[in-house]
Amino acid sequence: MTNKTFAIIGAGLAGLSCAVRLTELGHHVELFEKSRGAAGRMSTKRGEGWAADHGAQYFTARDPLFIEQVKKWLANQAVALWTPEIKVFEANQWTTFQSQDLRYVGTPAMNTPAKQLANGLLLHTSQTIDALSHKDSQWFLQSAEAGAIAQGFDALILAIPGPQALALAQHLDPDIKTIAGQSNMKGCWTLMARFQHKPTVSFEAAFVNQEIISWVARNSSKPQRTGQESWTIQANPLWSQEFIELSKEDVADQLLACAKKLGLDCTGAEISMHRWRYASGSTTATLGFYSNPALHLGMCGDWLNGGRVEGAWLSGYHLANQFAE
């Protein structure tokens, strides 16, 4: 395929890496994103005088292709290494976490790498695509905000979580119904706490096992963070999924009680909550991406490639190359 027009739904890391690669290969690409900006689950919540990474907390890079991308981000100061003091809490015991992994974070916020990828791309924000159709070899989109989009596209890529791809496109291709139907994604309740002073605890980040909290991190320990002292607390996936419909207040009460048990007393802190409906999880068979050459239809995303930031970027990149072939 050369000189084709592509519509990509979703401007998370998978959709963005796919768009960048397709553009490099000479195609015309337009991204449709329901939020106000790019980044998806690699995003940053902002308030007056504070910001917190409330989705992905850091990422690692193992694949040579992704390592090259990370080097570009490092050169552009979009990411930096994060070297927190990490502890593990399990069975009421604290231990120090030992690992050789290099942990990267976006700078000055987690969404910066995504924003750099989006630079120069045609990105339509605040466009929730809610219907798709295929007519005379062209794909047509409809958005909740703008109605039917007049322009047709030669190819369509769904770069959205599996359950959302299932809802939007299962009627178009039986394989999408099967594959997206297996995307066993779980939610994540996230609590962000702002303090007047740095709390006295012996860690900057912690993996927590066998509690309703699974991760705690001091945002303010990440490079180039300014503003109020801020911490992010994430509930474990199974608990989050079970209680995903609970009110924010009830969830906050339970997470704050657990945080106190961990030694992070949030009394007096300002609290915000975020409910991620589709935070983590992937298909059991790691497909990497999905493409239907007959329909010029594809899917990419972390959930097709083992979850996580690196998997998302690689999924989009490889799908773009597959279309080129």
Ligand X SMILES: Cc1cc2nc3c(=O)[nH]c(=O)nc-3n(C[C@H](O)[C@H](O)[C@H](O)COP(=O)(O)OP(=O)(O)OC[C@H]3O[C@@H](n4cnc5c(N)ncnc54)[C@H](O)[C@@H]3O)c2cc1C
CA distance 157 to 74: 28
Question: Residue 69: which residues within 8 A CB-CB, separation 6 or more?
Answer: 17, 61, 313
- Judged by CB, which is closer to ligand X: 298, or 307? 307
- Judged by CB, which is closer to ligand X: 10, or 108? 10
How many Å is the Cα radius of gyration of the chain? 20
CA distance 316 to 15: 6
**Which spans of this chain sit near ligand X (rule: CB under 6 A)?**
9-15, 32-35, 40-42, 55-59, 128-129, 159-161, 164, 168, 188, 190, 234, 276, 279-280, 301-302, 307-309, 312
**How far apart are CB 188 and ligand X at their closest, in Å?**
4
- Judged by CB, which is closer to ligand X: 196, or 273? 273
**How far apart are CB 114 and ligand X at their closest, in Å?**
8
**How far apart are CB 240 and ligand X at their closest, in Å?**
9
**How far apart are CB 251 and ligand X at their closest, in Å?**
14
- Judged by CB, which is closer to ligand X: 220, or 232? 232
CA distance 31 to 24: 15
- Judged by CB, which is closer to ligand X: 40, or 298? 40
- Do the bridges between strand 86-90 and strand 205-208 make them parallel or antiparallel, or are there none, so unpaired? parallel
DSSP calls for 146-199: TEE----BSEEEE-S-HHHHHHHHTTT-HHHHHHHHT---EEEEEEEEEESS--
- Judged by CB, which is closer to ligand X: 2, or 186? 186
CA distance 325 to 305: 20
- Judged by CB, which is closer to ligand X: 11, or 149? 11
- Judged by CB, which is closer to ligand X: 32, or 73? 32
Which three-class secondary structure state does DSSP give residue 241?
Answer: helix
SS3 content of the chain, % helix, strand, coil (to 5): 30, 30, 40
**How far apart are CB 184 and ligand X at their closest, in Å?**
14
- Judged by CB, which is closer to ligand X: 220, or 234? 234
Q: Which long-range contacts (CB under 8 A, 24 or more apart) does 282-289 make?
A: 282/183, 282/184, 282/185, 282/306, 282/307, 282/311, 283/162, 283/179, 283/182, 283/183, 283/184, 284/182, 284/184, 285/182, 287/179, 288/314, 288/315, 288/318, 289/315, 289/316, 289/318, 289/319, 289/322
CA distance 211 to 28: 48
